[in-house]
Chains A and B, each alone.
Chain A
């Protein structure tokens, strides 16, 4: 039985549909395939028919025909109209794929030659493995430590390049539990073919079990807070009063007035840039060259932790309860070193 199933899996001609996006994209794919097949068959048929019917033995003398503007216009305009359908349909699905729902669960992915590092909001970390619950929209925010990568899950029909210096994102809603392959699809060097992994789509209960396995370093925001202390950020970025540097409480996603008159939104990209290259955008009323450059000192994963911490500083939290304090933070504890373990949690849900 296993052998037969195995053989069938080997002979697969079409990928599994395991996300909400897969079926609509496949519908478009089939539309394109059918149109293409019909066109190919028509042209092949016409070529074979004409070649045979008017072969020289049967038809020694050709009839000269100049052409026909009517025909030319027909076979320009009709295909063009069909292509407009393809264009509109494709654009509609593409636009939807660019707009993650507000309630999507956010997971962070960092590409590094040649592995995918995954960080969960609760502080859990994995390499080349991604665990998600079924039927819940998931948004991946992705960064690269080095070259351009591309994150791809064929069974979900999603893919996005991960360009260094940017945050890129994609989202999907898994609809079928199981394990699906993920790949890097932008050539990234020697072990490009090794930059693969698995997405584990779990039902709600298994996912809850798995998630309760928990990280050891606290939530992502807590890890960020540790880094915030460790790098001495708190000496200038005072949490409740104006220090030498801007207050970070309540900053996230709010407009910031800059020294050069521009206004920017303090989103992930802005915060990332301000950590790695503080002089790039100086906030109005502050001096340049106060904050050291953290490029090379913090990894992309650290930046994600720090941003999570800044996000967690809600403007309403009283001073005494600043930051995420749900779990005690071990003073001086270091963020787990990247790459020390393939995963710090079991790949399968723990048996209770």
Chain B
């Protein structure tokens, strides 16, 4: 990080660093924001943790029924989405780097790329949900199941599937909104080596959402492989 801050010769004014009145120094402000964001991400872990707990319990109770659902999980689309999200994390990391190096044009480009990847993810997610609707797999609305012995327990999995991927997608939508906000500010040249806190914070959030998907993908899409009934 030696080249993060390029010395300009004189101390930047609070206007440049966006130092708010109640902080004494820039580093205090940045530290506070970082700790706040990490604390927030811990609450997010616990938020998703409730659903993962439910998933773990029912998978333990009904392993066969859960494995049987893999027939309907599109590993190709899910895998593509995993790759897309990993790419978006890379571009997000590059965006943060660009902001830290005051390379505003790169920042704008990487933010746009991240948003494009995010949108592709959501589009593919939408295709998958639509397929589930067509295949009558939406619990509570049109649920039917090819293996009647698993009807009830597969329904639990699809309920969790929609809750978990739905909550994840909602976080993606919020993330896209935040990125739009960043983009507008980046175009206005707000960020520089002296002030990039929002880019870094939203970057952390974006990586978190990404990591949630890294857990969701195997737990929802790949559980049938052992049983040889994945698509």
Interaction A to B: yes
- Complex-state Cα separation, A162 to B148, whole angstroms: 29
Residue pairs across A and B with Cβ atoms less than 8 A apart, 15 shown, are: A260-B63, A260-B64, A277-B152, A279-B148, A279-B149, A279-B150, A279-B151, A280-B153, A282-B149, A288-B147, A288-B148, A288-B149, A289-B147, A289-B148, A289-B149
A residues 286-316 touching B (CB-CB < 8 Å): 288-289
- A289 partner residues in chain B, CB cutoff 8 A: 147-149
Binary flags per residue of B124-149, CB closer than 8 Å to A gives 1, else 0 = 00000000000000000000000111
B residues 184-221 touching A (CB-CB < 8 Å): none
Ordered nearest first, which 8 A-B pairs have the shortest CB separation? Answer: A279-B149, A288-B149, A289-B148, A289-B149, A260-B64, A277-B152, A279-B148, A282-B149
- Complex-state Cα separation, A303 to B157, whole angstroms: 28
- A288 partner residues in chain B, CB cutoff 8 A: 147-149
Distance of A84 from chain B, by nearest CB (Å): 31
Minimum CB distance partner of A277 in chain B: B152
Distance of B172 from chain A, by nearest CB (Å): 36
Distance of A280 from chain B, by nearest CB (Å): 8
- Complex-state Cα separation, A332 to B149, whole angstroms: 31
Distance of A285 from chain B, by nearest CB (Å): 15
Q: Which residues of A contact B (CB under 8 A)?
A: 260, 277, 279-280, 282, 288-289
Q: Which residues of B contact A (CB under 8 A)?
A: 63-64, 147-153
- B63 partner residues in chain A, CB cutoff 8 A: 260
Distance of A35 from chain B, by nearest CB (Å): 37
Minimum CB distance partner of B61 in chain A: A280
- A260 partner residues in chain B, CB cutoff 8 A: 63-64
- B151 partner residues in chain A, CB cutoff 8 A: 279
- Complex-state Cα separation, A277 to B149, whole angstroms: 9
Known: A277-B152, A279-B151. 8 other contacts (CB 8 A): A260-B64, A279-B148, A279-B150, A280-B153, A288-B147, A288-B149, A289-B147, A289-B148
Distance of B225 from chain A, by nearest CB (Å): 17
Minimum CB distance partner of B64 in chain A: A260
- B148 partner residues in chain A, CB cutoff 8 A: 279, 288-289
- A277 partner residues in chain B, CB cutoff 8 A: 152
Distance of B141 from chain A, by nearest CB (Å): 20
Distance of B9 from chain A, by nearest CB (Å): 52
Distance of A110 from chain B, by nearest CB (Å): 22
Distance of A262 from chain B, by nearest CB (Å): 10
- B153 partner residues in chain A, CB cutoff 8 A: 280
Distance of A85 from chain B, by nearest CB (Å): 35
Distance of B62 from chain A, by nearest CB (Å): 8
Minimum CB distance partner of A278 in chain B: B149
Distance of B25 from chain A, by nearest CB (Å): 35
- Complex-state Cα separation, A282 to B151, whole angstroms: 14
Minimum CB distance partner of A288 in chain B: B149
- B150 partner residues in chain A, CB cutoff 8 A: 279
- B147 partner residues in chain A, CB cutoff 8 A: 288-289
- Complex-state Cα separation, A288 to B152, whole angstroms: 14
Distance of A286 from chain B, by nearest CB (Å): 11
- A280 partner residues in chain B, CB cutoff 8 A: 153
- Complex-state Cα separation, A280 to B156, whole angstroms: 14
- Complex-state Cα separation, A282 to B149, whole angstroms: 9
- Complex-state Cα separation, A282 to B153, whole angstroms: 14
Distance of B69 from chain A, by nearest CB (Å): 15
- Complex-state Cα separation, A260 to B148, whole angstroms: 17
